Structure 1
């Protein structure tokens, strides 16, 4: 195989590798796999069954219509209603959060009643046990009656009641704080002549995967469960793959629920008592369920018992969640935010970003300041890498001459390069370790910027009014100068509809690349030359906050590397090299 064919093959392999990594990290959306028909047929919806190996079998619940009896909810952060059917929390809005940045945009509708395609609700009831009939306890379809209170608010609890007509009276008392926590006190009074054994439970049901599922490897979306200090994160796809319920016994300190990018629902039983945390998927109905089943309670004749469960439904605000952990005794609740593998880095980095934002008041400038701070902290590591690159860059002309002399003599070229490094006391690998040590730090910064709620709908300057959304400007209308709108993000033209920030990202990557030693192989050199512009298009539809971080990081890296190169006697002429290269290419083309 001649050099030209070998180089072309290498170029194709490298390009395929880039595409393979890209589609691994950013896969196309896929449909949830179906559960085996024989299993799905058995997993019909019903109330959880205490101390049972398989779910109970019952008919699909009657769908809730719009005029079901309800109790209003009004608090500083939440609004909606409690459905008296099943005592469900199935109508909940986050009053401080909107779907888009538009002033007339709808409020986030977190929980929705059964009957809608994206139903999502919580219900609290009791499972029968030891001689108590299944219809003698309230379940997800029980019609409760309002006993006390008119509107659930921080100053006004609400109590609903259900009497089974056989001596047992059940009550659910709801209280809400000024944020996102609702407490449900479940009580039962035994007015009968015999003891009754029942088990309280809470459940969350979600019909189908959420429409706005991002499916991005950096972010966990799906079930989240804490059991005795151990955190489990299970994606929707993996839940649907299971052919049986996933049951975990929690001795103390646990919770279970579902997490999205910015929102979350979580069942939090008494942190000092055991319970069973269950995840299951009903393939027939395409329903994901999380259960918290508390131990059975034996209520003596003439006695009563009460069990308290908290239910978080709201935004994943760091300060709020941390307060529930530190002041509310919810163990490891801060881990409902997806800190990732490098949590020991992401947590302090987020703390720093949060406090910078508190001082500056603008998230865009806060990202820039944070990137400066981190780049300053890792400068001692960066310095060795940049010095190594400077020495390699100085040797570039001599290496080119060596390649011309050696021609196709690969062995001679290799020996000559090693001698050149030895004579000039250059170690090509000396800059690798410091660079590798920095990767976890900047990946953690990237993750913090991606997962943080503070970025959502946060403006920066001018046209950037939402740092969690792509740059809205477009080169196709000359950034607003021409009288037509930019293509929609879902349009085919969106891939070439570059905004100002993605273009600056491409330029910053190109400038940084010009300071690095060029690959010896012509094919590799060509691929690396195109990389900044390829990534400019690939990353063009990423969140503006992430692109801003990359631009800042690339710019700081360029300035640091440029300064260190000059301090070691090498004076890189980036623009001169570019125009010189263009002139050389033009001259070669005219020959």
Structure 2
């Protein structure tokens, strides 16, 4: 490998190292969490849609509370599905209490199930609510408020195939009903209707909203989006929590708000790293999407607001929408997108800027996991497939490197002839490369291609729930977490645990990071060390620097890197031997341990 080739590889590797150091040590600062008491739960704080009726509705309508009951003490209706457990509060008919049956907070089998929705009363209340804003002929007390006490008309427990119906009779004689059903996964269907048995026509506007009280617990890593996620007619919207206060203040709502006024297809809600709640209007039905923040009560909201409807005398009108509340599982969300017509729903997963790589990489990884039944072996299988796809480039690259070795005697002769004339040397070298059909930069192409693949896989492992708590074998029981073994207790041989070292956890190396360093070191030994002392020192330290830097990365990513290095070593060794060059790996290893003799006086 000539100096130009080595310089390019060195520059690429150092750039990669700088990016890794930046990822670990210098993530952008997150805004401080605003410490406020739990938000109050009156309608003035919750009913954004009820306070935002269209001009055709009654302009005097307000959002006063009628027939209220204490929200925290209201009766509840159980929710029991294969994947969800919880309840619905009859105060407002809000869906506000959900646990995920398939997911626990930690790897401990006794750990509590992950809580998705949380009733009012705690510091992080999180719930969905549907209703009607009063229009022509109706005042606020004529429609159910956000804490109006509903009665159960049919059903005792909400479960798949067993919907429930809530009822509320208004002072005007209107009958409001809300039928709620749920499937085997995470999708609720809410059909709300108004029956008008009177002789008077009325108007009302249906809406739904999701509310989060106070800033939720965040992962706080800048490559991950947490906040509002939505789709409106093919356009993806993402808004982080710290950007809500940058929204313009809506004087009518008294809150920071942003509105998408007319969408025919779409959805909007809140996303966490692995979980999501999303309002989904019927496809093809026009609606308005709103995201807002009420700084006084510290409430975040997403809303879907529908056109005002006429309820003629003796008529019943209804409106149906859906609510997704669950885990962001690729296969489940793809089913809702492809089979149930939710446009662009897979984009609710944060695929990042390299979505054109992360999406197919995860699709293949998911397929291999289904075939093999183990995500760790699936990562190894994915690495084999990637290396197979890149093999033509690798073959060309390693063949070129072998030819470069064959040209070393000619190169030495050129250097002797050119002496200090660098321009003449470069010219003759280019002529030699052209004559022998050798491209000195081709050896770097596989390395350059590996960088976007590496970061795409890093993104996939970091954001997809399928890697969360996914075991490989032995001590690796969570491929999304760093290797839990530690050199500080000789990987469990010494009778004590390893304390949490915080930022210094990087020195608590596990088995996988050490294997990574060794694999990089062996790969270097396919070639003699560079003659330049500075380059020689940098190349000598590089495997061990990467070993420490990647030690705190997800085990799945380190596993990919070890597999990639091992396959690269085998490929390069065999290809170079096929071209008559026999890498002296053992000699290069032993030469690194020999002490250099001082130059003769």
Tell me how far apart the structure 1 counterparts of residues 159 and 406 of structure 2 sit (CA, whole Å).
Answer: 71
- List runs of 5+ in structure 1 lacking aligned partners: 1-10, 36-42
Q: Which residue of 2 aligns with 1:40?
A: none
C-alpha change, 1:581 and 1:417, in structure 2 (3 Å) is: farther
**What is the aligned length?**
568
C-alpha change, 1:487 and 1:296, in structure 2 (3 Å) is: same
User: In the TM superposition, what are the counterparts of 1:251-266 in structure 2 within 5 Å?
Assistant: 251-266=263-278
Matched, 1:538 2:549: yes
Contact preservation (8 Å) 1:250, 1:276: yes
Contact preservation (8 Å) 2:528, 2:588: no
Q: Which residue of 2 aligns with 1:87?
A: 93
Tell me how far apart the structure 2 counterparts of residues 436 and 83 of structure 1 sit (CA, whole Å).
Answer: 56
Q: Deviations 1:259-286 (Å, cap 9, x if unpaired)?
A: 2222111111111201111122223333
Q: Deviations 1:111-152 (Å, cap 9, x if unpaired)?
A: 112232222211111122345323432233333233322211
Tell me how far apart the structure 1 counterparts of residues 64 and 570 of structure 2 sit (CA, whole Å).
Answer: 67
User: In the TM superposition, what are the counterparts of 1:427-576 in structure 2 within 5 Å?
Assistant: 427-432=439-444, 436=448, 440-441=452-453, 443-488=455-500, 491-515=502-526, 522-576=533-587
Q: Which residue of 1 aligns with 2:37?
A: none
Matched, 1:287 2:296: no
Matched, 1:110 2:136: no
Tell me how far apart the structure 2 counterparts of residues 249 and 25 of structure 1 sit (CA, whole Å).
Answer: 41
Q: Which residue of 2 aligns with 1:143?
A: 149
User: In the TM superposition, what are the counterparts of 1:182-331 in structure 2 within 5 Å?
Assistant: 182-217=188-223, 219-243=224-248, 244-331=256-343
Aligned match of 2:104 in 95, 98, 101? 98
Contact preservation (8 Å) 2:128, 2:209: yes
Contact preservation (8 Å) 2:16, 2:451: no
C-alpha change, 1:380 and 1:578, in structure 2 (3 Å) is: same
Q: Deviations 1:379-399 (Å, cap 9, x if unpaired)?
A: 112222222333445667887
Tell me how far apart the structure 2 counterparts of residues 241 and 520 of structure 1 sit (CA, whole Å).
Answer: 56
TM-score, normalising length from structure 2? 0.84
Tell me how far apart the structure 2 counterparts of residues 473 and 339 of structure 1 sit (CA, whole Å).
Answer: 30
Contact preservation (8 Å) 2:63, 2:140: no
Q: After superposing the two structures, state which structure 1 stretch, 156-165 or 405-414, moved more.
A: 405-414
Aligned match of 1:337 in 346, 349, 363? 349
Contact preservation (8 Å) 1:228, 1:250: no
C-alpha change, 1:323 and 1:387, in structure 2 (3 Å) is: same
Tell me how far apart the structure 2 counterparts of residues 63 and 386 of structure 1 sit (CA, whole Å).
Answer: 75
Deviation at 1:221, TM superposition (A): 2.7
Q: Which residue of 1 aligns with 2:158?
A: 152
C-alpha change, 1:323 and 1:60, in structure 2 (3 Å) is: same
Deviation at 1:513, TM superposition (A): 3.8
- List runs of 5+ in structure 2 lacking aligned partners: 1-9, 35-43, 56-60, 249-255
Q: Which residue of 2 aligns with 1:3?
A: none
Q: Which residue of 1 aligns with 2:41?
A: none
TM-score, normalising length from structure 1? 0.85
Tell me how far apart the structure 1 counterparts of residues 146 and 100 of structure 2 sit (CA, whole Å).
Answer: 24
Tell me how far apart the structure 1 counterparts of residues 329 and 566 of structure 2 sit (CA, whole Å).
Answer: 31
